[in-house]
Chains A and B, each alone.
Chain A
Amino acid sequence: MDMGGINPAILIASLMVASVPIILAALGELVVEKAGVLNLGVEGMMIMGAICGFATAVATQNPYLGFLGGAAGAACLSLVFAVLTQVFLANQVATGLALTLFGLGLSSLIGQSYVGIKPPLTGTVPLGPLAEIPFLGPILFDHDWMVYVSIIACGAVWAVLKYTRMGLVLRAVGESHDAAHALGYKVVRIRVLAILFGGALAGLGGAYISLVRVPQWTDGITAGAGWIALAIVVFASWKPWRILLGAYLFGGITVLQLNLQAAGARIPVEYLSMSPYLITILVLVIMSSGKGKAALNAPAALGQNFHASR
């Protein structure tokens, strides 16, 4: 079961772990964008989640509370965005970028006293003998619980958006806020809730980085993962399952190229490193040139502010 000195089971298992932060953050952003709001502050919310989660986990010595703390911290930050854009009708792009800068600075300030501290360990879910199954065991049954949460969250977001009344209303708000308003839906309230949800998921993703993937706090620990999450939402053309696919592709290629190098395979590292970005550009080109359904899938009211006076 070796390809070029690499065990594919271990490779797949590690790419699933590497992709968790971007899956969660991208799912959150998908819901926000489906509600017609463009929040470019994912990076800032992720890193706030990373430090708040870390601080909570260290204070309580409980990794699960840590994740909750991370989600709460990032949701608080996203509330700033919600108030500015939904109440004061600030420009969403500018506010989102400001949110990222603010989040990076604030997290660094909070994190001053947490450098060098080790968080409590998040164990793997004990699935007993299942983890011993050759090949499938390490891939499917030997992860920490956040890996499963990320996949379940994908399914949940998909099901809610597609099959429930709540999902329908959310999409209506994102497609045409005027029509939704005329029907009596509280556009601003729905969007604020969507933004908070997006913040919480981005926070979970950030907390995963500081609690599991790199169990420590370092300034700027997310190092651009939020921007990749934003790109994946577009790559996935606003479809939850494609987010899973896109994130595994991004995470997979990064992990694959590192593993190939460690195994001594002679590959041009630079090309593999840039390939996820090239694929994203390609998808964007195909999407914008084709007249297919994908081209029409962006929420129509994306990035537009709503005021009930109109």
Chain B
Amino acid sequence: MQRRTILKGTAALGFASMVGGKAAFAQGLEKAKVGFVYVGPIGDGGWTFQHHEGALAVQQEFGDKVEIVWQENVPEGADAERVLTQMALSGCNIIFTTSFGFMDPTNAVAAKFPDIKFEHATGYKRDHANVSTYNARFYEGRAIQGHIAGKMTKSNKIGYIASFPIPEVIMGINSYYLHAKKVNPDVELSIVWAFTWFDPAKEADSAKALIDQGVDVIASHTDSTAPLAEAAKTNGAVIGFGQASDMADYKPSPRVSSIIDNWAPYYIKRVGALLDGTYAQADAWEGISGGEVEIGEITDAVPADVKAEAEAMRDAIAAGTYHPFTGPINKQDGTAWLAEGATAPDGDLLGMMFYVEGITGDIPS
């Protein structure tokens, strides 16, 4: 009985803070404790590394006004709820969960702690007033990679190491393919689903399988540098891209360019808003123009004219004059998706579960 009353109480409180909304938030904080939940190790050299760089930037910006805690290698799924609950109970004021698979656990735990702010990366569920989502328009970077891939491939076979079949990844595949196809109509795309975010040996095996099939440009959507290490074994015959982080150790080849996730500005903005009391629920999705997606240096392994074109595309995307998904684009089954000149609405992109015309194979379910 008593427990039920308490639950009712919490629910009522949650409701009150929803109604009270702005007023409750507007007080600001003297000192904030900020939690980060990572799917891999900080030393992965990619995805998680970049999030941690963002966390460190927050610490640097606010000094002793913030305290930072983090947990590495948190599995996606039920175990994440335990970690999140523990962080919430330990007095965090705001918690950033940095992988798609933390979406449901984040919302579940957020329901129990209405006074704590939760920020989920790359997801779309904001079931409660204290859950915000943030993402970056990685597909803009993929467009530039696709352009380079289409120009650079000699075998006309390009590859993509995919992690999980979620809109985020499929968006990247489609953007990469469309832009390769645009400059090289003969290009074929091989996709390998690794079903992991982080497993260097498997990522290397995936790259090797692609190389064995004659692929000579590999883009990866997993978190480690292993695919580049595998490409490096071919002595320049196969090139690839840095993913999530610059991966500059593999310059000038096989890494010819990269997508760098820069989370620092967003983290600083959100924690700052929490401290000064201007925090509000948000759904952030910045790209190259907002500085969240950076294109790493295009090395000399790429011919100067291709480099210039790629950089022009980058600048056009940044200026807002070019959208990587501009019609006419058909879906894989041939039905029309975008009409001539139309650009993809964000809603379509965030729920993208189809390949564009020309890609072979099915999306695993």
Report which A residues bind B (CB closer than 8 A): 5-7, 10, 14, 18, 21, 108, 111-112, 115-118, 209, 213-216, 218-225, 254-255, 258-259, 261-264, 266, 268-270, 273
B233 interfacial contact with A, CB 8 Å: yes
Q: How far is the CA of A218 from the CA of B206 in the complex (A)?
A: 17
Q: Given that A116-B45, A218-B200 are known contacts, is A254 also in contact with B192, CB under 8 Å in the complex?
A: no
Closest Cβ of chain B: how far from A18's Cβ, in Å?
6
Q: Please state if A258 and B209 are interface contacts (CB–CB under 8 Å).
A: yes
Report which B residues bind A (CB closer than 8 A): 40-45, 73, 159, 190-196, 198-206, 208-210, 212-213, 215, 224-226, 229-230, 232-233, 248-249, 360-362, 364
Q: Given that A224-B199, A261-B192, A264-B190 are known contacts, is A216 also in contact with B225, CB under 8 Å in the complex?
A: yes
Q: Please state if A262 and B201 are interface contacts (CB–CB under 8 Å).
A: no
Q: How far is the CA of A264 from the CA of B191 in the complex (A)?
A: 8
5 residue pairs from A and B, CB less than 8 Å apart: A116-B45, A116-B249, A218-B224, A255-B205, A270-B195
Closest Cβ of chain B: how far from A101's Cβ, in Å?
11
Q: Which residues does chain A contribute within 8 Å of B45, judged by CB atoms?
A: 115-116, 218
Q: How far is the CA of A40 from the CA of B269 in the complex (A)?
A: 45
Closest Cβ of chain B: how far from A205's Cβ, in Å?
11
Q: Please state if A259 and B204 are interface contacts (CB–CB under 8 Å).
A: no
Q: How far is the CA of A14 from the CA of B199 in the complex (A)?
A: 17
Q: Which residues does chain B contribute within 8 Å of A115, judged by CB atoms?
A: 43, 45
Query: Closest residue of chain B to A119, judged by CB?
Result: B229
Q: Please state if A14 and B208 are interface contacts (CB–CB under 8 Å).
A: yes
Q: How far is the CA of A117 from the CA of B45 in the complex (A)?
A: 12
Quick one: which of B193, B202, B230, B364 has the most chain A CB within 10 A?
B202
Query: Closest residue of chain B to A117, judged by CB?
Result: B249
Q: How far is the CA of A256 from the CA of B149 in the complex (A)?
A: 26
Q: How far is the CA of A270 from the CA of B164 in the complex (A)?
A: 11
Closest Cβ of chain B: how far from A238's Cβ, in Å?
26
9 closest A-B pairs (Cβ-Cβ)? A219-B41, A219-B43, A116-B249, A258-B209, A223-B199, A262-B209, A262-B213, A214-B204, A214-B200
Q: Please state if B209 and A215 are interface contacts (CB–CB under 8 Å).
A: no
Q: Given that A213-B204, A266-B362 are known contacts, is A10 also in contact with B212, CB under 8 Å in the complex?
A: yes
Q: Which residues does chain B contribute within 8 Å of A222, judged by CB atoms?
A: 201
Q: Please state if A112 and B43 are interface contacts (CB–CB under 8 Å).
A: yes
- Supplied contacts A112-B43, A223-B202, 12 more A-B pairs, CB within 8 Å: A111-B43, A214-B201, A214-B224, A214-B230, A218-B45, A223-B201, A255-B209, A258-B194, A258-B202, A259-B213, A262-B209, A263-B213
Q: Which residues does chain A contribute within 8 Å of B191, judged by CB atoms?
A: 261
Q: Please state if A220 and B40 are interface contacts (CB–CB under 8 Å).
A: yes
Q: Which residues does chain B contribute within 8 Å of A261, judged by CB atoms?
A: 190-193, 209, 361
Q: Please state if B361 and A221 are interface contacts (CB–CB under 8 Å).
A: no
Of A10, A14, A21, A266, the contact of B361 (CB 8 Å cutoff): A266
Closest Cβ of chain A: how far from B142's Cβ, in Å?
19
Q: How far is the CA of A221 from the CA of B205 in the complex (A)?
A: 13
Closest Cβ of chain B: how far from A171's Cβ, in Å?
33
Q: Please state if B205 and A18 are interface contacts (CB–CB under 8 Å).
A: yes
Query: Closest residue of chain A to B228, judged by CB?
Result: A216
Q: Which residues does chain A contribute within 8 Å of B73, judged by CB atoms?
A: 220
Q: Please state if A5 and B201 are interface contacts (CB–CB under 8 Å).
A: no
Q: Please state if A259 and B364 are interface contacts (CB–CB under 8 Å).
A: no
Closest Cβ of chain B: how far from A272's Cβ, in Å?
10
Q: Which residues does chain B contribute within 8 Å of A117, judged by CB atoms?
A: 249
Q: Please state if A262 and B192 are interface contacts (CB–CB under 8 Å).
A: yes
Q: Which residues does chain B contribute within 8 Å of A224, judged by CB atoms?
A: 199
Q: Given that A214-B230, A266-B361 are known contacts, is A219 also in contact with B42, CB under 8 Å in the complex?
A: yes
Q: Which residues does chain A contribute within 8 Å of B233, judged by CB atoms?
A: 215
Q: Given that A218-B45, A255-B205 are known contacts, is A7 also in contact with B212, CB under 8 Å in the complex?
A: yes
Query: Closest residue of chain B to A225, judged by CB?
Result: B201
Q: Please state if A218 and B43 are interface contacts (CB–CB under 8 Å).
A: yes
Q: How far is the CA of A131 from the CA of B232 in the complex (A)?
A: 22
Q: How far is the CA of A261 from the CA of B212 in the complex (A)?
A: 12
Q: Given that A223-B198, A261-B193, A264-B360 are known contacts, is A216 also in contact with B212, CB under 8 Å in the complex?
A: no
Q: Please state if A262 and B202 are interface contacts (CB–CB under 8 Å).
A: no
Of B193, B199, B229, the contact of A215 (CB 8 Å cutoff): B229
Q: Which residues does chain A contribute within 8 Å of B192, judged by CB atoms?
A: 258, 261-262
Closest Cβ of chain B: how far from A278's Cβ, in Å?
16
Q: Please state if B193 and A269 are interface contacts (CB–CB under 8 Å).
A: yes
Closest Cβ of chain A: how far from B212's Cβ, in Å?
5
Q: How far is the CA of A185 from the CA of B205 in the complex (A)?
A: 46
Query: Closest residue of chain B to A22, judged by CB?
Result: B201
Q: Which residues does chain B contribute within 8 Å of A258, judged by CB atoms?
A: 192, 194, 202, 205-206, 209
Q: How far is the CA of A216 from the CA of B201 in the complex (A)?
A: 11
Q: Given that A7-B212, A258-B206, A261-B209 are known contacts, is A273 also in contact with B230, CB under 8 Å in the complex?
A: no
Query: Closest residue of chain A to B191, judged by CB?
Result: A261
Of B198, B202, B205, B215, the contact of A220 (CB 8 Å cutoff): B198
